[in-house]
Amino acid sequence: MRALPKIKVRKSKRLGRGYGSGKGGHTSSRGQKGQKSRSSIGILFEGVKVRKSLYKRLPLRRGKGKFKAKGKPIAVNIEILNVLPQGSMVDVAMLVANKIVDSKDAEKYGVKILGNGKLEKKLTIALPVSKTVIKKVEKAGGKVVQSSE
């Protein structure tokens, strides 16, 4: 009969599984009663009474999507802007007028211009853009008024 291979990593002790677990019995090193003796602490529990909890510090929002993050801005690639007329000012109203973005979505999430593709027209952009867009617009002879990421 072959010998079993040696195991080098020792498993962690499983708490609260009786006397045979090797870590106490009855309360298994969790003390007597209270929140920390139970199976898990609530995700909103921060452990101190002095500081306001995260839950209290957040602005009051109602409904199902209460803890969900706000959506990311609509990404518009720079190659799509070739549809617009030469020398025009690119803003949300212009993109909505040319049916590139939906007005409700643009108002809710915002619009960001990304640098995928080639720009062949001289445009002035007044929207948040990526770093590559600034280079491509200036190469085409246009300019970026507002460049926040």
The CATH code of the domain that includes 103 is 3.100.10.10
Residues 87 and 135 placed together within one structural domain of the fold: yes
Residues 48 and 80 placed together within one structural domain of the fold: no
pTM beyond 0.75, yes or no: no
Q: How confident is the model at residue 49 (pLDDT cuts 50, 70, 90)?
A: low
Instruction: Please write the tens of the pLDDT for every residue from 110-145.
Output: 999 999 999 999 999 999 999 999 999 999 999 998
Q: How far is CA 85 from CA 21, 58, 77, 82, in A?
A: 75, 44, 16, 8
Residues 78 and 133 placed together within one structural domain of the fold: yes
Q: Judge whether residue 73 has pLDDT over 70.
A: yes
The SS3 of residue 126 is coil
For the sheet containing 89-90, what is the strand order? 89-90, 124-125, 143-144
Note whether 124 and 90 are within 8 A (CB): yes
Question: In this predicted model, which residue has the larger pLDDT, 115 or 22?
Answer: 115
Q: How far apart are CA 19 and CA 37, in angstroms?
A: 17
Q: Is 92 a domain residue?
A: yes
Residue-number span of the structural domain to which 98 is assigned: 74-144
